[in-house]
Amino acid sequence: MPTAGIIYIQGINVNIKNLHIYRRTTQVFFILLIFSIPVLDILRYDTATRELIVFGQAWSIGLRPDFFIEHDISGATHVALQFFLKAILPWLFILSTFPLLGYFTGRFFCGWMCPEGAFFELADFLTLKLLGRRSLYGKKTNDPETSHDNKFLYAVITAISAIIIPAAGGIALTGFFIAPKTIWSQIINWDFTFGVKAGIIGVSVYMLISLIFVRHALCKYVCSAGLMQMLFGWASPVSLRIHLDAQRINQCTDCRACERVCFMNVKPRLPKKDINCVTCGECITACNKELGAGKGLFNFSAGDSNTKKPVWIPAFAGMTKQDKDT
């Protein structure tokens, strides 16, 4: 029995009220994951030993020590196989990750997992609290309304974030190239080699500039992972998208809540599919708040455009496809 406030995605019930919390949880998880990968030796390149460390082991092509003296078919097969398995296949896997993600999930990764996107949203939020608008460059028609209380508190949070986030990002990303233990011992002794200093300062400055001045423009026009997902998601007949139930558009109150929550400046009510949508689902939550739980006009859909029926996800929040059809 369908329940108001629930959306159905391939048999998984997702509570609309919790959609925002789920997204924040996945974003925090991925930030912690990126920070943990080099620390736990899951994946990093060690510039000191010139070794790629994968799950604690130095990555090797795995050729037998005497492979060069085997001039027979078995020796040649061994070399070819090891190169394919240990050099070509891993690269193919890495290179296909974002095209495949885009093909099946559109820009879902950008909206739900990307650590940089999460920090941009935090920067938007703090700018909104301090200046009454999301962007430094001026007010936009879709800027949300906000209270102007506690400005001093938000100024302090902004100042702390402007130091901690770029510095933590600098330390974490430098750890992908220099052993994290080396970095920490240099920080504790406050005695840095050129490589560590350059890594931390370079990444910190990049993060600070992108957080203050660039933000989601980077997601739209620069990020190659985002652009690959955008292109493959656009071309894919099955990628995850936001579906507007155009048949019920007369129930829209024109409150514009769906536009105000959209940090990518998408207008989700327009029939034209916008490639900048990161499938964050904030417009789904906003419309359900306005029209009542389970009655919102948006939902997740796969292979859907606003003019076609969804392929495998029911169009209605709170209804199965059978309910809709009957």
CA 249 to chain centre: 30
The least distance separating ligand SF4 from the CB of residue 137, rounded to whole angstroms, comes to 19
Nearer to ligand SF4, 127 or 299 (CB): 299
7: contact with ligand SF4 by CB under 6 A? no
Binding-site string for ligand SF4 from residue 255 to residue 294, where x marks contact by CB under 6 A and - marks none: xxxx--xx-x-x-xx-------xxxxxxx--xx--xx---
The total number of residues written for the chain in this structure: 326
CA dihedral sign, ordered 281, 284, 287, 291: negative
The least distance separating ligand SF4 from the CB of residue 6, rounded to whole angstroms, comes to 18
N- to C-terminal Cα separation, the chain: 14
> What region does 10 belong to: left with phi over 0, alpha with psi -120 to 50, or beta?
left
Kindly give the pairing relationship between strand 51-54 and strand 57-58: antiparallel
Binding-site string for ligand SF4 from residue 156 to residue 185, where x marks contact by CB under 6 A and - marks none: ------------------------------
User: Using CB under 6 A, which of 10, 141, 224, 253 touches ligand SF4?
Assistant: 253
Nearer to ligand SF4, 174 or 299 (CB): 299
The least distance separating ligand SF4 from the CB of residue 294, rounded to whole angstroms, comes to 13
User: Using CB under 6 A, which of 66, 145, 254, 325 touches ligand SF4?
Assistant: 254
Nearer to ligand SF4, 182 or 276 (CB): 276
Inter-residue contact 300 to 314 (CB < 8 Å): no
Nearer to ligand SF4, 174 or 279 (CB): 279
The least distance separating ligand SF4 from the CB of residue 107, rounded to whole angstroms, comes to 8
**Residues from 105 through 124 that contact ligand SF4 (CB under 6 A):** 111
Of 8-16, 112-120, 173-181, 251-259: span binding ligand SF4 (CB under 6 A): 251-259
Binding-site string for ligand SF4 from residue 35 to residue 74, where x marks contact by CB under 6 A and - marks none: ----------------------------------------
Alpha-helix residue ranges (DSSP H) falling in the chain = 16-39, 73-83, 89-105, 108-112, 115-131, 151-174, 180-189, 194-209, 216-221, 224-235, 257-260, 282-291, 321-325
CA–CA gap between residue 147 and residue 103 (Å, rounded) = 40
The least distance separating ligand SF4 from the CB of residue 291, rounded to whole angstroms, comes to 6
The least distance separating ligand SF4 from the CB of residue 16, rounded to whole angstroms, comes to 13
Helix H or strand E segment including 45: strand 43-46
**Residues from 182 through 221 that contact ligand SF4 (CB under 6 A):** none
Query: Is residue 44 classed as helix, strand or coil in its secondary structure?
Result: strand
The least distance separating ligand SF4 from the CB of residue 216, rounded to whole angstroms, comes to 10
297: contact with ligand SF4 by CB under 6 A? yes
Over the range 189-222, which residues count as b (16 or more CB within 10 Å of their CB) and which as e?
eeeeeebbeebbeebbeebbebbeeebbebbbee
The least distance separating ligand SF4 from the CB of residue 259, rounded to whole angstroms, comes to 7
Over the range 2-28, which residues count as b (16 or more CB within 10 Å of their CB) and which as e?
beebbbbeeeeebebeebbeebeebbe
CA–CA gap between residue 22 and residue 321 (Å, rounded) = 24
Contact residues: ligand SF4, CB under 6 A: 111, 242, 252-258, 261-262, 264, 266, 268-269, 277-283, 286-287, 290-291, 297
